[in-house]
Amino acid sequence: MQIGCIVITLFMGVPIYLIALAALSSRESLNTFPLPLLPTDVSGETMTTFLQSTGIVGGLLNSLTIGLSTVVLALLIGLPAGYALARYAFRGRNPYQLGLLLTRALPIVVLSVPLARIFLDTGLYDTTYAVTLLHTALALPTTILITSAIFLGVSREQEEAAMIFGASPLKAFVRVVVPQALPGIAASAMFTFVLSWNEVLGASILTLNRRTLPAQVLATLADSPLAFRFAGGLALVLPALIFIAVVRRYLLNMWGTTLR
């Protein structure tokens, strides 16, 4: 078991380490053979050149704007839907949950091409709003199912007791349910942000001049030098690593695992 964990960790960690090593090395050291496996000539030249390239800072800002907007919109729509699934029994609830999963089975290009046509007609094409709407549609099934599972674990009796003592349903939800469901809500929000950050195909189809960072890197990848590719890879991986570090405690709480 432990050997399996070590192998999986190395399988995932070694490529990230090699990308970081190349991105933080000077261009001269990248041309040496064999390449050293330990940092011997650390330099920020490659990352600085990457960040100063055309469209990178704009793409970074677009990614942050779209990611945060997607989180807000997905929670505004997904939280009530998840609460309804957890608290109320209604006809068609199980087929509805299955339908949510089926929407995630659709290839992104199936959604993006018709949406591109609609956005061209409505004037939303090549805007951050268009990508935000697409990412929200992609994130909603996960948001609804995760929050539904979290709300199921919140005691209904405590919520009803709050209403017996005079709290309105909304106040009981905000004061009793939300604090207990906060780790799951936070984990769902971070899943949504990472999904939006890493999505590239839809953003490439729906934008030309307002591309996200992954779409911008992909568009310039073929004509870029090797150092630029490593720097772009590190810039795309870093947010996911930060996500794992931040969300670890919330995920363990959500899954009912003892925090070590």
DSSP letter for each residue of 161-219 = HHHHTT--HHHHIIIIIHHHHHHHHHHHHHHHHHHHHH--HHHHHH-SSS--HHHHHHH
| 169, part of any domain | yes
- Provide the pLDDT confidence category of residue 136 given band limits of 50, 70 and 90: very high
Q: Is residue 177 part of a domain?
A: yes
Answer yes or no: is 103 within a domain. yes
Mean pLDDT of 169-176: 86
Taking residues 31-43, what's their average pLDDT?
A: 73
Tokens of 76: 């505004």
**Cis peptide bond prior to 34, omega within 30° of 0:** yes
What is the CATH number for 115? 1.10.3720.10
| Structural domain that includes position 71 | 54-253
Question: How many other CB atoms are found less than 10 A from the CB of residue 1?
Answer: 5
Is residue 22, in this structure, part of any structural domain at all? no
Question: What is the 8-class DSSP label of residue 106?
Answer: S
Q: Is residue 47 part of a domain?
A: no
Whether 108 contacts 202, CB under 8 Å: yes
Task: Report residue 145 as tokens.
Answer: 């199912």
Q: What is the per-residue pLDDT for 65? A: 92
The pTM of this model reads 0.80
Q: What's the confidence (pLDDT) of residue 57?
A: 85
pLDDT at 75 over 90: yes
Q: Lowest-pLDDT range, 121-125, 135-139, 238-242, 248-252?
A: 248-252
Q: So what's the pLDDT on residue 129?
A: 92
Is the confidence at residue 134, as pLDDT, over 80? yes
- Residue 42 DSSP class: B
Q: What's the total number of domains in the chain? A: 1
Residue 8, in any domain of the structure: no
DSSP state for residue 25 in the 8-state scheme: B
Asked if the model's pLDDT at residue 77 lies above 90, the reply is yes
Q: Between residues 143 and 238, which one has the greater pLDDT?
A: 143
* pLDDT tens digits along 211-244: 888 888 888 776 777 777 788 888 888 876 776 6
Assess if residue 155 is contained within a domain: yes
Domain assignment of residue 165, yes or no: yes
Instruction: Look at residue 43 and give its three-state secondary structure.
Output: coil
